[in-house]
Amino acid sequence: MGTMFRFDGVSFEAPNSGSDGEIVSILKNITFEIPGKIFSVITGPSGSGKSTLLRLFNRLADPTTGEIYFHGKNIREYPVLELRRKVGWVPQVPVRFNGTVEDNIRLPFSLSRENKIPEDEINRRISRLKGLELLQEKLFSRKAEDVSVGEAQRMNLLRAMALEPDVILLDEPTSALDQQKAEQLLSQIIRIQKETSLSVIMVSHRKEEVAMAGEFVVDILDGEATVRNSKGSSE
């Protein structure tokens, strides 16, 4: 399994939007390791700093102090685009671009100017993504603007997987869905993670999702982190 990410004394501070430049501490001296090829969940109450923590994994934000390592290498040593190809991101609110669902999923290939992927390899990857059965194949030809929120979130997940990253970051992917549809989506993500051995790190505030998906759990409370395995014991 091995260590995938290591956080070493990481803190994050930012101006308080409700005051005149006051600096607030959001994450406080966090140190932990996250193993690879499993489903990890970051959880905690609203405002605890869990979404901020997730943004640090692929440098959508950088820590104020401390260091983060990915596969044993400081993430600051990776070119940002290379890091984000290896560490995919699925936002809380699904993003839709013009065109069909398949056009949206193919978008990362057109944006990748370096290490251009041959068309036959792109087609192989699209076929593989269809084979995951996350979306009905008939939806691939539908306009992205016409699919439901849940289908758009699945589309975003497939788009993030198109470049075959090492890990996918999910920021509360079920928050816009009712409980039944949320459980269906999470079950599909869990199935895909196990079938592909893809590493997944998901933010969720729902206890039932943590129990359902979390093989490794990072609890965030008042900016401090505690880690535990799937059996609930602290490490």
Q: Which band of pLDDT confidence, cut at 50, 70 and 90, is reported for residue 19?
A: low
| pLDDT for the residue numbered 113 | 64
Q: Is the dihedral of CA 17, 220, 204, 111 positive or negative?
A: positive
- Does 1 score more than 80 pLDDT? no
What is the average pLDDT across 52-66?
A: 97
Calculate mean pLDDT across residues 19-42: 92
The CATH code of the domain at 36-58+81-229 is 3.40.50.300
pLDDT value, residue 131: 95
Question: CA–CA separation, 103 vs 82, rounded Å?
Answer: 22
